[in-house]
Amino acid sequence: MPRRAAGAAGAALLLAAGAVGCGSGVGGSAGASASSAAQAVARAAKKTEGVTSLHYRLSGRIPEQGRVEAEASAGTRPAVARLTMSTLGGDHPTVAELRLVDGVLYQSQTENGVAQQVHGRHWAGFGRSAEFTAAGGLRMDVGGLREQVGRNPARDAALLAASDDVRRAGTETVDGVTTTHYTGTAGLDDLRASLKGEEKRGLDQYDRMGVDELTLDVWIDGHDRVRRLRTQGFGTHGELDLTVTFLDFGKSVTVRAPARDDTVDLSKPRKETRG
């Protein structure tokens, strides 16, 4: 399966569960201070990260990838996820589907409308180990991609909460839901100084794009949940502009592994067949 698809899928999930949180009310008035705005965004990010399942849509542009669209569902009980992503720019538009089932990541894709095959099968499985040596001696590490597929993108709303520039921008309707809009900009150096651990490591993806400042917008509903998240920036490799819209929370998510006879496990040595 072309490496380009796996890279694109991982890139599309920059904004792609987490600690359980709680809260009440949207919070803040028209003249909300930076402190109260940051608290409202942090509360919503934590609560939305803690949901047991979600369904979201993503669209926008990614440096070097161009225009992308994606739709995904993920659940934590059990941990499953499904992502379908389209890269629409360039000479080879692709549609990739990724599934995470029982700790195993699976991928299929079409390119220019033609289903791609690996050793005569339409699905590639990557086993349970993050790193392995595939047939032919190719060393593979799918840990980051597997984490991204199952990741709750609401986590990145916390970046706005960490900004010194966060402020309330008004009340807006998102997919028929009344929300409070918060906005702000944050330099990566400032974020890195204020964040810790996994949150800080999440900034590495923007470094690789050459993006040194982010403009962040978060829309929060009356239940303290993130309903929309937009991340923008400019880097050495082009424009970053991604919008994630959350469609459902708490609904049952079922994801099944693809048929075994149409799947090749790249983490295991391939048995040669004689014709």
Domain ranges of the chain: 3-264
> What is the per-residue pLDDT for 83?
94
> What is the per-residue pLDDT for 273?
44
Beta bridge pairs of residue 182: 168, 218
Beta bridge pairs of residue 58: 70, 244
CATH of 3-264, one of 3.30.420.40, 2.50.20.20, 1.10.490.20, 3.40.50.620: 2.50.20.20
pTM higher than 0.85:
no
Q: Taking a C-beta distance cutoff of 8 angstroms, is the pair 26, 220 a contact?
A: yes
Measured between its terminal Cα atoms, the distance across the chain in Å is 23
> What is the per-residue pLDDT for 143?
73
How far apart are the C-alpha atoms of 150 and 129, rounded to whole Å?
Answer: 16
> What is the per-residue pLDDT for 269?
67
> What is the per-residue pLDDT for 70?
95
> What is the per-residue pLDDT for 135?
65
How far apart are the C-alpha atoms of 194 and 180, rounded to whole Å?
Answer: 25
Taking only the tens place, the pLDDT of each residue in 61-104 is 988 888 999 999 999 988 899 999 998 876 778 999 999 999 89
Low-confidence ranges of the chain (pLDDT < 70): 1-33, 90, 135-137, 198, 269-275
Distance of CA 227 to the CA centre of its chain: 15
How far apart are the C-alpha atoms of 9 and 96, rounded to whole Å?
Answer: 7
